[in-house]
Amino acid sequence: MTDLQNAGRYYWHYLKKYWFGFLVTIVLISISTACIVIAPTYLGRAIEELTQYLQLWTNPATRPQDSFGAFHTTLWIYLALYLGDASSIFISSLVLARITAYSTGTMRVGLFRKMQRMQVRYFDAHSDGDILARYTSDLDNIFNALNQALIEIFLSVAQFIGLLIVMFAQNVTMALVTMASTPVALVIAAYVMKKAGTAVNRQQDDIGQLNGYINEQITGQKMIITNGLQQDSVKGFTRYNDRVRSSALSGQIWSGILNPLMQGMSLLNTAIVIFFGSWLALNGSLSTGAALALVVVFVNYAQQYYQPIMSLTSLYGMIQLAITGARRVDEVRNQPDEVNPADGLPLNGIQHDVQIKDVHFSYNPGKEILHGVSITLHKGEMVALVGPTGSGKTTVMNLLNRFYDVDSGAITIDGTDIRRFDLHALRANVGIVLQDPQLFTGTIADNIRYGDPTAAMDRVIDAAQQANIHDFIMSLPQQYETTVSDEQNIFSAGQKQLMSIARTILTNPALLILDEATSNVDTVTEANIQAAMDNVMQGRTSFVIAHRLKTILNADKIVVLKDGTIIEQGNHHELLEENGFYAELYHNQMVFE
């Protein structure tokens, strides 16, 4: 499907419900066009009446006694026609402005809702900046085009149709001659538009990448400063910026070239009409006078003929950006949603076990990451997953709450495949403390309540106490009402980690997953986090991904993963006795600690 068809489908989807507003606009624009077409004839008539009146008036014998009655009436009609034109345009602009505001508002909400339904895969594969650009510059381009170009499109189409009617009413042969150059103009326009479309597509994708780069550099700013990489960062920026500049320039050139080309076509058209009209005057059946009058009228039409096309082509850059914007926004809209079974089973905790059975998984086809992984977690057990970096530990976690689905094999809770549970029910039972805890704008209390917004304050405090963060919160001037925001990043990594543990405790999950919760913090905080983790894991089925082996010494089972395959399983003592990979890892770590 071409971009144009795609954009057509997209705009139809969002604009069809405003059919009545469009109908009103079409009626109003038709009124305005009729007023514009008719008004000059009244001006002509007014001049004619004035001339007649003056001729009578200058001769005392014929000087009329009455006033300028007919002349005045004609002028009033002329004025009324212009007022009719102006007010129709004004009202239709208001109607279209309302449609634009509401429809782009709906697009924005639709896109945001979609983001909440989309698979994690999409976010892993696209930079934050690129996704953000679809919400900002792409939607802005759509808004601008709807706001400015829509009325122009209506006007141009109405003008064009009006002109065709008038031309054919006057003389069919000359009308056809005036239109003769249209196919050539269409071929040129199609070629230039294709080129411009490609350039603008590239421009928007380049802007997405530039945003992605800026976003990455902002996130990693401390890293850049620490390593003295500011110059390299600027160089990288310049590289992306150059790409945007070059694609924007070529987009502008191709979009901009269309208007002069159409002006050239208009001149050519006028020449064709003069040439053919003169031939008609010399060889046709019309009297020379009538033929010349026809030529004059059609020269006028020939110049007007390309006017609507030119005003559309002058907006072409904007329209093309809106077509590209629609493609990029639609790309997000067409992403597959998370798969939630139609009659998903309820899930109320774990009665016996969670089993990972012979699971094979790949993020991208042809590159398998997990090769037949099997792990059993009995209710209330703590199972730890260890292994070198890139061995697939986080991947296993990604499968447990269905961020991704397995390629083959299955994950079951009490014997039922997790794909059969209602997705929300499954997630309500699986709590995750991620490596990089995220706090949201709001108060500390709001942040702890995130998983259960209805939780009473005493439960929030209880969760914070279990997570060993209550004392710290109470030491802040505004305690639980302290505002957390992007600009006010006053918490350490460890404190954030503890708050996210408190958040998870509050949701009371049946299965708890802790992903390297102890990395990146000092030893005191680590001890705090360890205590908080012990609290939260007490009597709960939990799955811990850890790098520091001393945090999992008392795990019921330790699973060692290497290159996506389980190479050892057992408790700490059994694995030490086995004297394999785990034992080596443990001894190495002990030397360093």
88, 28 contact by CB (below 8 A): yes
Least separation in angstroms between CB 18 and ligand ATP: 40
Q: Distance (Å, rounded) from C-alpha 593 to C-alpha 590? A: 5
Q: Is 403 in the site for ligand ATP (CB under 6 A)?
A: no
Among 363, 441, 489, 579, binds ligand ATP (CB under 6 A): 363
Of 555, 564, 547, 438, the C-alpha closest to 503 is 438
Among 212, 392, 437, 494, binds ligand ATP (CB under 6 A): 392
| Concatenated DSSP letters of 295-359 | HHHHHHHHHHHHHHHHHHHHTHHHHHHHHHHHHHHHHHHTSPBP---TTPBP--S-SSEEEEEEE
CB of 96 to ligand ATP, least distance (A): 43
CB of 331 to ligand ATP, least distance (A): 19
Tell me the number of residues near ligand ATP by CB under 6 A: 12
List the one residue out of 212, 71, 49 whose CA is nearest residue 129: 212
Q: Which stretch binds ligand ATP (CB under 6 A): 19-27, 241-249, 334-342, 392-400?
A: 392-400
Please, are residues 318 and 398 in contact by the beta-carbon 8 Å criterion? no
Q: Which of 364, 454, 475, 523 binds ligand ATP (CB under 6 A)?
A: 364
Q: Which of residues 421-450 bind ligand ATP (CB under 6 A)?
A: none
Q: Is 369 in the site for ligand ATP (CB under 6 A)?
A: yes
Q: Does 394 sit near ligand ATP (CB under 6 A)?
A: yes
Nearest distance from C-beta of residue 478 to ligand ATP, angstroms: 36
Strands 483-484 and 416-417: unpaired
Beta-carbon count within 10 A of 64 CB: 11
The distance of closest approach from Cβ of residue 118 to ligand ATP in the complex, given in angstroms and rounded to an integer, is: 14
Residues 88-127 that bind ligand ATP (CB under 6 A): 124
Residue 437 to residue 502: CA distance in whole angstroms: 11
> What are the tokens at 440?
């949201």
Residue 375 has φ and ψ, to the nearest 5°, of: -140, 140
Shortest gap between Cβ of 260 and ligand ATP (angstroms)?
48
Which residue lies nearer to ligand ATP by CB, 87 or 394? 394
Nearest to 375 by CA among 425, 333, 411, 417: 411
Q: Counting contacts by CB under 6 A, is residue 389 touching ligand ATP?
A: yes
From 387, 431, 437, 509, residue interacting with ligand ATP (rule: CB under 6 A) = 387
Distance of CA 503 to the CA centre of its chain: 30
Instruction: Note whether 315 binds ligand ATP by CB under 6 A.
Output: no
Backbone angles phi, psi at 416, to 5 degrees: -100, 130
User: Minimum CB separation from ligand ATP for residue 320, in Å?
Assistant: 33
> CB of 558 within 8 A of CB of 552?
yes
**Which tokens is 531 given?**
């205590």
Report which residue type is found at 171: N
Work out which of 233, 255, 269, 395 binds ligand ATP, going by CB under 6 A.
395
Q: How far apart are CB 366 and ligand ATP at their closest, in Å?
A: 12
Query: 103, 313, 391, 542: which one contacts ligand ATP (CB under 6 A)?
Result: 391
Site track 124-143 with ligand ATP (rule: CB under 6 A), x = hit? x-------------------
Q: Are 559 and 569 in contact (CB under 8 A)?
A: yes
Minimum Å gap between C-beta 23 and ligand ATP is 48
Contact in structure between 440 and 484 (CB atoms under 8 Å) = yes
Nearer to ligand ATP, 260 or 390 (CB): 390
Residue 84: partners with Cβ closer than 8 Å, 6 or more residues away: 31, 32, 35
> Closest separation between CB of residue 252 and ligand ATP, Å?
37
State the minimum distance, in angstroms, from the CB of residue 133 to ligand ATP: 21
Q: Is 569 a residue that touches ligand ATP (CB under 6 A)?
A: no
Cα distance between residue 177 and residue 302, in whole Å: 9
Q: Does the footprint of ligand ATP cover residue 259 (CB under 6 A)?
A: no
Output the smallest distance, CB 391 to ligand ATP, in A: 4
For residues 411 and 103, give the distance between their C-alpha atoms in angstroms, rounded to a whole number. Answer: 43
Instruction: Write out the binding residues for ligand ATP, residues 486-505 only, by CB under 6 A.
Output: none
CB atoms within 10 A of CB 200: 29
Q: For residues 378 and 557, is the Cβ–Cβ distance under 8 A?
A: no
Per-residue tokens: 494: 């460890």
Q: Which stretch binds ligand ATP (CB under 6 A): 81-89, 351-359, 391-399, 483-491?
A: 391-399
Q: Side chain identity at 338, as an amino acid letter?
A: E
Residue 84 lies near ligand ATP (rule: CB under 6 A): no
Only one of the segments 2-10, 103-111, 389-397, 490-498 lies at the binding site for ligand ATP (rule: CB under 6 A); that segment is: 389-397
Which is closer to ligand ATP, CB of 206 or CB of 516?
516
Q: Does 393 bind ligand ATP (CB under 6 A)?
A: yes
Residues in contact with ligand ATP by the rule CB under 6 A: 124, 363-364, 369, 387, 389-395
